[in-house]
Structure 1
């Protein structure tokens, strides 16, 4: 089988980015996506560090900035809405100097990547992989709806609940562990009162925020909880029950936001989970993005997905007929970016969702000190771009 025929599962961030770069290198990618179109759900994400360079090489930087949120600050408030702390998002570790980072709605980023790649790849929306059967020469794939086909390679870019990972590597429980948090988002359909500022309110183990988007705003929730038995990431009614129970009796804007939760059809809700695997490839199948490795609470998953897509395509192009070597080198290179992000989840959780009142007070004080230090010119180091 010709290795240039590549099936990619997932049309979120990693999938379209990989399709674009594979096509540029002479491959023939096909992208299959369970949703009937580009999804609009999820919290804002960041294009920073190595992804900025990938975006520039794709020629989409201006479009991403035009669609970006233009958010500059994070403000912590008490139950009465009075400021208790905060910081410039440009001072967050990993931020690029000069405000070059782009924060953008996940759906907006996915739409730009799809528009950029759709003329170079085949897209099958409203479908998913049912079975994968590989041999030394190729991969036979059956779909839920489309006729069976044979491909040279298969890449799972289908997120934490990856179908490709389950079919080729084993059940989700072997690789995915609960990180102690659940997160939820929903669009509010109204402009934010502070169009460049995320406003967040904490109680012990709980955080709720209103996040501006261009002409709109988004509610964001993150709370600490043990794993829910038999949790189903597709059960929207159960998600609403869990969220409203977790925030019952809260102050600030919580009652209003929970009313929106009950009424919405656009709630995104899932556990924050770590995906850890000894290997990201098995024969002619490989994993990319959150399917291979997650977790990030600061939107870095999209940055890693774009950087990983660029690296995987480049390694496959550099080694015609040697997919095993290409997969191995891609993994070696990309783990250098992924490792620090996975190790930083506890620190991110401590900042976003302190577990105690003392922790909230300490976080607010630290944020004021950090902002003061940043104003004096103390900048974090820039991440290394993919070669």
Structure 2
């Protein structure tokens, strides 16, 4: 299992690189701009103009970007985060994640990770294609700790860190014994178990229950289809002729691998209770009417080792990559100069209202442990 802190780093990878080296943030009109562009970090004047919440080596995390990220996080956790103390817990966690992100950026630079302008341009274009260039993009960037003017540098650091993360996972050797041992553990824990499944044919007539007339017409049509099948017509031929399921109609209504508890309750009940080979009574779901014929049914069984091998190998490699990442981050943190300047949170802070109902006496989930 990955630690909460490791999961936080990965979930907030974009957030972790939300601030840039001082050279990227200096307004050209300021007298100190030239010095800022040639040396990492911010001058005292620039720090006054744009407060920082942390300094990690020669990199900084700006307070305004940090607070944007916090505001988005608190909004997502409404109903879990109730009090100023809960908000402060979230702020502390987010700051630690973002500091780890700056450490990763430093490690990526030390490892010689390079990002081309073409890679940055492609990533920016993808974001613009998804969110446009207006308010939707600006809101998305605020949520991840950026703004349009800073986004290219933001993306550059993200790509650099991603390359570093990929690199530290290279060279991991996974043996057959490793896979077999992991398979046995997962099997014993019930993780590698295939649920009950069935092979089914069905005829489907679409209808909306809210339209009584259409619903009755659909019921009449499914009754007619069922009567044809019971009279001896081939189920597959009837399905191809009248079924309204576009995914199975051309296959004679065949559904190859229906897993238990994945369909609507009435459909699921028919699939896993109807005797094999029999034709069901009409089955109503929220989508319309069905007639089913169960061809095969299988009880739960372990996933075979051969089928699970590739997934297990990737899982072991990923676990080792996380361990290497965590080790390198901790070693770097021990040698880097890290300073934090997090101002205390109060319930009256602008942009961070705590307007949830009073906190219950007891909670099953500790504040900040749920996403």
Q: Does TM, scored on the shorter chain, surpass 0.5? A: no
Which has the larger share of helix? 2
Structure with the higher strand share, 1 or 2? 1
Q: TM-score, normalised by structure 2?
A: 0.24
TM-score by length of 1: 0.23
